[in-house]
Amino acid sequence: MPAGWARCSWAGRSPGGRLVAVKVIRAELAGDPGFRARFAREVATARRVSGVFTAPVVDADPTAPLPWLVTGFVNGLSLAEAVDEHGALPVASVLALAEVVVLPNHDQDPTGIV
């Protein structure tokens, strides 16, 4: 996904009261059929991935006029913030991150985006 592909509201709550991250695709990208197709594939892939280190998909509508995705909220620094505050990640941390995020998703993502 391109940088800045969505607006985010971190103050959302599920019907059960769970804190969620609400992401709405920017209008200029919502009109791009290629982007919409890729977003729909990403949503489908995200629905199949689960685990302690992933934010679950609560709901999504990739076919809405402004496609959206709601995931469980994971409190923490973004990767950019972590690097800004603490410097480059050690090689061991990058390899561990790849092992739990990239490698499992790569097998489930035929697009090769992950």
Partners of residue 22 on adjacent β-strands: 9, 70
- Catalytic residue flag (residue 61): no
Residue with tokens 């592909």: 5
Contact criterion met (CB below 8 Å) for 40 and 62: yes
Q: Which one of 32, 59, 84, 107 is the catalytic residue?
A: 107
Do the beta carbons of residue 97 and residue 89 sit within 8 Å?
yes
Residues with catalytic function:
107
